[in-house]
A and B are shown apart, each in its own frame.
Chain A
């Protein structure tokens, strides 16, 4: 949906890239937790008790157990993941980037079509419009206060500053499957802020309607 999924099959194993070490303790855990691959999840390695953070947070069953039915739990850690995790933010930014060039109303309609497979109601369009205006205003205020250019000017697109935020998630460890180019690693720990539309996209991705298939 964010246009970042790499459909190619990755080459080789993660272990090959991790190099030498005590398998299971020193190698797998950091590698698997840090997976930032854009390939489909069917290619994720599965090492008994170690899971990538997202799967661990969202009820992936323990691989050393026989599991007849999967739990469906709700925990605040899941909410924190949706609110604050870089991966989620990067997806929201990429999603917003794809909507550049549309009018605001078109953007909202397109988003509902892409994310929720339906058209938004009048009320939902109204919620979106109000939200985008409020965030834009808040960012403009913050911009004026700090003396930097307002963040909300121009078209609503994912990134609001020049540095490559999308590289951050994958920067720690790029899969290098041949189809994707190496992305720059941001040296310091600062992250670019998000545009109002990207913040809106993140909210939509965090909604229960997006998360549940029903």
Chain B
């Protein structure tokens, strides 16, 4: 597919270009002439690329639960585990029943554990994917594969591909935002653009989490929180009037250069970007400032309450970013890696996220945004239905649960299942490549056609695999 962004440098061939492409020789010069005309027709960087077919979802909110949330304690009801509890399993350690009760919810009768009482009220909006599986039971590899499709090489993230495919609708915010991503387990790779142009990379926002537990655990991993979420959002030295004058001067200097160069897309792009940056200075603090939200809304997300404040703020910001036209929004919560303390730690995690997620679904729905916003929930893998210690569960990539809601998926629908103990996906299996293919499909993109030439071949998010789970499409 064709790029239409201004960083495609075409003509005139500058000294820098000539030096860079010396080995390409005259072929490059001929190409530069051809592509320059094309670039002029393509217009400015703000033009949106066209999807392959009619999209069902315009944007994505990915609720990323880092660490591997246990499926058999949350969304994958396994009554057989109760009877088998303590008895030897086929896998060395004894079976371990969930300490939490499951109940059926909504018109669909979906089984959800008591850990998600608020979310359970939205059961009829959820598309439960009980047959997930991926390639590795190790955090970093699985987390990276979930984000990029490939844990062996550095590849563009799902959000970067989305932006590459659809562009950004926001004129004053980045098109791909990742809030509080971890710096471990792949770090910036998980929101990076790899070989895709850097304009498609995610912008990391860091926000305060008022809950003591998360502050302690995550502060080092996330880095310093900034009241505006990103660096350089405000200028503390120059007044806005002076800065406007300064920008006008920069623009005048750039136009002087442009008149000398005749055609230089890089300079044209720079003029545009300074204006966008100037708008971002207003937009970012504006969108980050939730003071204008009603008390009822804050309560809906559990903001200013313990333990929901931190993730509640993330969820509310996700809605605000969605309204502002941000294409791909990822929220980060964790860790869900409970090897030994599942009774308390899993309950804590669910308590921190249940109300905020339910609030987000309710809020999007009443604003009529849920219909074209695709919500994704899940972590890099699930956990074992057996337990050595009886107090925790280990990594399980063979069968686990993620869910979707909103934009184009069936609500109150369960797709796929694991075996009777919840160890391995046996029906409606969905590999991460299939998950990616389905997400792109919902966004109006054919995962086999969304490609970018790198290292001598057309690269895809799904590499040479992936099939769309048509059963879940509404």
Residues of B within 8 A of A89 (CB): 237
Find out whether the CB atom of B273 lies under 8 angstroms from the CB atom of A75.
yes
Residues of A within 8 A of B252 (CB): 127
Q: A58 to chain B: closest CB distance in Å?
A: 9
Find out whether the CB atom of B233 lies under 8 angstroms from the CB atom of A72.
no
Main secondary structure of the interface of B (DSSP, over half): helix
Which B residues between 138 and 158 are near A, CB-CB below 8 angstroms? 153-154
Question: With an 8 A cutoff between CB atoms, is B294 at the interface?
Answer: no
Question: With an 8 A cutoff between CB atoms, is A41 at the interface?
Answer: no
Q: A165 to chain B: closest CB distance in Å?
A: 8
Find out whether the CB atom of B199 lies under 8 angstroms from the CB atom of A25.
no
Question: With an 8 A cutoff between CB atoms, is B197 at the interface?
Answer: yes
Q: A208 to chain B: closest CB distance in Å?
A: 5
Residues of A within 8 A of B256 (CB): 121, 123-124
Q: B281 to chain A: closest CB distance in Å?
A: 7
Residues of A within 8 A of B250 (CB): 203, 206-207
Find out whether the CB atom of B241 lies under 8 angstroms from the CB atom of A75.
no
Find out whether the CB atom of B174 lies under 8 angstroms from the CB atom of A191.
no
Q: A146 to chain B: closest CB distance in Å?
A: 11
Question: With an 8 A cutoff between CB atoms, is A6 at the interface?
Answer: no
Question: With an 8 A cutoff between CB atoms, is B121 at the interface?
Answer: no
- Which of the residues B231, B232, B266 comes within 8 Å of A212, measured between beta carbons? B266
Find out whether the CB atom of B246 lies under 8 angstroms from the CB atom of A25.
no
Q: Which residue of B lies closest to A81 (CB)?
A: B232
Residues of B within 8 A of A209 (CB): 253-254, 257
Question: With an 8 A cutoff between CB atoms, is B215 at the interface?
Answer: no
Q: Which residue of A lies closest to B276 (CB)?
A: A76
Q: How far is the CA of A135 from the CA of B153 in the complex (A)?
A: 51
Question: With an 8 A cutoff between CB atoms, is A13 at the interface?
Answer: no
Which A residues between 134 and 188 are near B, CB-CB below 8 angstroms? 134-135, 138-139, 142
Question: With an 8 A cutoff between CB atoms, is A194 at the interface?
Answer: yes
- Which of the residues A53, A56, A66, A199 comes within 8 Å of B246, measured between beta carbons? A199
Contact with B along A47-65 (1 / 0, CB 8 A): 0011001001001001011
Find out whether the CB atom of A138 lies under 8 angstroms from the CB atom of B242.
yes
Find out whether the CB atom of A74 lies under 8 angstroms from the CB atom of B237.
no
Find out whether the CB atom of A74 lies under 8 angstroms from the CB atom of B270.
yes
Residues of A within 8 A of B239 (CB): 138, 142
Find out whether the CB atom of B194 lies under 8 angstroms from the CB atom of A79.
no
Q: A143 to chain B: closest CB distance in Å?
A: 11
Find out whether the CB atom of A207 lies under 8 angstroms from the CB atom of B241.
no
Q: How far is the CA of A59 from the CA of B143 in the complex (A)?
A: 24
Find out whether the CB atom of B267 lies under 8 angstroms from the CB atom of A208.
yes
- Which of the residues B153, B195, B253, B273 comes within 8 Å of A76, measured between beta carbons? B273
Q: How far is the CA of A75 from the CA of B45 in the complex (A)?
A: 10
Question: With an 8 A cutoff between CB atoms, is B235 at the interface?
Answer: yes
Find out whether the CB atom of B232 lies under 8 angstroms from the CB atom of A85.
yes
Contact with A along B221-261 (1 / 0, CB 8 A): 10110000011111111110111011101101110110000
Find out whether the CB atom of B281 lies under 8 angstroms from the CB atom of A80.
yes
Q: How far is the CA of A75 from the CA of B194 in the complex (A)?
A: 16
Q: B22 to chain A: closest CB distance in Å?
A: 12
Q: How far is the CA of A165 from the CA of B256 in the complex (A)?
A: 32
Q: B175 to chain A: closest CB distance in Å?
A: 10
- Which of the residues B153, B195, B199 comes within 8 Å of A75, measured between beta carbons? B199
Q: A128 to chain B: closest CB distance in Å?
A: 8
Find out whether the CB atom of B195 lies under 8 angstroms from the CB atom of A65.
yes
Which B residues between 11 and 58 are near A, CB-CB below 8 angstroms? 14-17, 20, 45
Question: With an 8 A cutoff between CB atoms, is A213 at the interface?
Answer: yes
- Which of the residues A62, A80, A124, A204 comes within 8 Å of B280, measured between beta carbons? A80
Q: Which residue of A lies closest to B186 (CB)?
A: A49
- Which of the residues A131, A142, A191, A214 comes within 8 Å of B249, measured between beta carbons? A131
Find out whether the CB atom of B245 lies under 8 angstroms from the CB atom of A134.
yes
Q: How far is the CA of A208 from the CA of B270 in the complex (A)?
A: 7
Q: How far is the CA of A77 from the CA of B281 in the complex (A)?
A: 10
Residues of B within 8 A of A211 (CB): 270
Q: How far is the CA of A50 from the CA of B204 in the complex (A)?
A: 13
Which residues of A line the B interface, CB within 8 A? 24-26, 29-30, 33, 49-50, 53, 56, 59, 62, 64-66, 69, 71-81, 83-85, 89, 121, 123-124, 127, 131, 134-135, 138-139, 142, 189-194, 199-200, 202-204, 206-209, 211-214
Which residues of B line the A interface, CB within 8 A? 6-7, 9, 14-17, 20, 45, 153-154, 174, 183-184, 186-189, 192, 194-195, 197-199, 203, 220-221, 223-224, 230-239, 241-243, 245-247, 249-250, 252-254, 256-257, 264, 266-267, 269-270, 272-274, 276-278, 280-281, 455
Q: Which 4 A-B pairs have the closest CB atoms?
A: A79-B277, A214-B14, A76-B276, A84-B232
